[in-house]
Amino acid sequence: MSGDVHVRFCEGAGVRFLRATRLVVLCRSAEEAQRALEHIQGWVDSAGLTLHPEKTRIVNVDEPGGFDFLGYHFERGYRWPRQRSLKKFKDAIRAKTRRTHGHSLSAIVADVNRTTRGWFGYFQHSHWTTFGPLDQWLRMRLRSILRRRIKLRGRGRGADHQRRPNVHFAAAGLFTMVEAYRQARQSVAAH
């Protein structure tokens, strides 16, 4: 798509939209996008509303920059979680995987899996390169917990990979987004 209108509404006097009201209009050209924006502007004005001036814009998604919408970043034909979404996910995982966490590995994995499955359920349509680094980062957090338990300092890297390989965490039931993505793509291809 060469043109895209990204619109957010500001509420006017006596008019309320749901907070989640967002609008993205995809167009074939910049001229078509400009006409669509003018049409929407007319409709919004007649309803007594205003478009948010900083968040309403025409974007060419084939060029660098793209736009964020509902937690995703869209750019050059791809989509992936926006930076704020990744930060929020990592912050949630950090809270569950502190090195001084006193629970068993299986309890920590069960807790982490709830967050990871939910996050993946929403962001599973992201570009495939999104998930590998997140899985690796999560296993590093778990290795750091196990490393601390044997009185070692620092992050779980290097020799910790031999001490606790990926299959160790798979056997503990750790949900991996790479595998979930692969399975989701196979089920789509089968239909």
3-state secondary structure 47-72: CCCEECCCCCEEECCCCCCCEEECCE
Q: Let me know whether 88 and 59 are in one domain.
A: no
Lookup result for tokens 């620092």: 154
75 falls within a domain: no
Kindly state the percentage of the chain with pLDDT values over 90.
43
Is 179 part of a structural domain of the chain?
yes
Task: Quote the mean pLDDT of the chain.
Answer: 84
- Residue 76 lies inside a defined structural domain of this protein: no
DSSP assignment letter at 110: H
What confidence tens digit (pLDDT) does each residue in 54-97 have?
878 888 888 888 888 889 999 888 999 999 999 999 999 999 99
Check whether residue 119 and residue 153 sit in a common domain.
yes
**112 lies in the same domain as 183:** yes
User: Is residue 169 pLDDT above 70, yes or no?
Assistant: yes
Q: Does residue 1 carry a pLDDT above 50?
A: no
Q: Output the pTM of the full model.
A: 0.76
Q: What percent of the chain has pLDDT over 70?
A: 86
Beta strands in 60-185 (DSSP E): 67-69, 72-75, 78-81
Which residues, including other chains, have CB under 8 Å from residue 112's CB and lie 6 or more apart? Answer: 93, 96, 97, 138, 142, 174, 175
- The amino acid occupying position 142 is L
The Cα–Cα gap between 144 and 122 comes to 28
Is the model's pLDDT at 155 over the cut of 70? yes
158 compared with 172, residue with greater pLDDT: 172
Predicted confidence at residue 127, as pLDDT, reads: 95
Do 91 and 178 have their domain in common? yes
Total domains in the chain come to 2
| For range 134-151, the mean pLDDT | 91
Do residues 91 and 56 both lie within one domain?
no
Q: Which domain holds residue 52?
A: 3-63
* DSSP designation for 14: T
Instruction: Based on the fold, state whether residues 154 and 185 are members of the same structural domain.
Output: yes
Run of H or E residues at 23: strand 22-27
- Tokens for 103, please give them: 């629970």
For residues 49 and 121, membership in a common domain is answered with no
**pLDDT of 156:** 67
Q: What are the residues whose beta carbons fall under 8 Å from the beta carbon of 168, sequence distance 6 or more?
A: none
Angle at 18 between CA 16 and CA 19, to 5 degrees: 110
pLDDT of res. 154: 76
Q: Clarify whether residues 101 and 45 are in a common domain.
A: no
